Structures are given as C-alpha cells and as structure tokens.
C-alpha cells in the first residue's frame, strides 16, 4: 500500500514531473526561501544522480580526430575536381 507523501503530493493543475532516477512523482516546487530536490523526488535520488556524474556514467562520447593523410587526400580530391590540380 502506498502512502501519500506531502513532498510529492500533486497540486491541482500542476504539471506532473517524474523523478529521472526512480520514476516516482517529483517533489513539489519549494516555497520562497526553502530548497526542493526538484526535479528529483528526494535528496537521495538527487545524490544518486550526482554520484553517476562523478563516476563518469554521463558522458558524451568522443570521436577520434581524423588522420592527416585522410584530410590531405580529401583536399587533393577536391582540388582535382575543381581543376586546381592535375591527378
């Protein structure tokens, strides 16, 4: 049986966000001068997400730089096609 938590209780007309870590309803926005773990449901889920950042689980894959011989061959091909250089 699920209990109704005041932190994640829904407001009438409010957009329901889901916690990106666990999928539960996100915490309500904080009132003035207070902190809220939003968009997470709790500080625990926010800390789990922060830990993933520290461990490098959220990263953008790096594409290897092109080899200069490939670049030079492409430049030569374009120059031949444009008539700047003979083959």
Contacts of 17 (CB under 8 A, 6+ apart): 25, 26, 38, 39
59-87 pLDDT tens trace = 877 767 666 777 788 888 999 888 887 76
The pLDDT tens digits of the residues spanning 12-26 come to: 545 689 999 999 999
Q: Give the integer Cα–Cα distance in Å for 4 and 67.
A: 59
First to last CA, the chain: 78
Residue 50, pLDDT > 70, answer yes
The pLDDT of residue 67 is 67
pLDDT value for 83: 83
**pLDDT over 70 (residue 3):** no
DSSP, res 18: B
Q: CA 20, CA 48: separation in Å to the nearest integer? A: 10
């Amino acid at each position: 049986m699920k209990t109704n938590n005041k932190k994640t209780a829904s407001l009438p007309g409010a957009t329901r966000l889901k916690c990106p870590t666990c999928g539960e309803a996100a915490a309500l926005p904080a009132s003035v001068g207070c902190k809220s773990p939003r968009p997470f449901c709790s500080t625990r889920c926010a800390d789990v997400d922060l830990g993933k950042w520290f461990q490098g689980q959220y990263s953008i894959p790096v594409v290897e730089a092109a080899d200069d011989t490939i670049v030079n061959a492409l430049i030569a091909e374009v120059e031949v096609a444009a008539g700047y250089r003979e083959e």
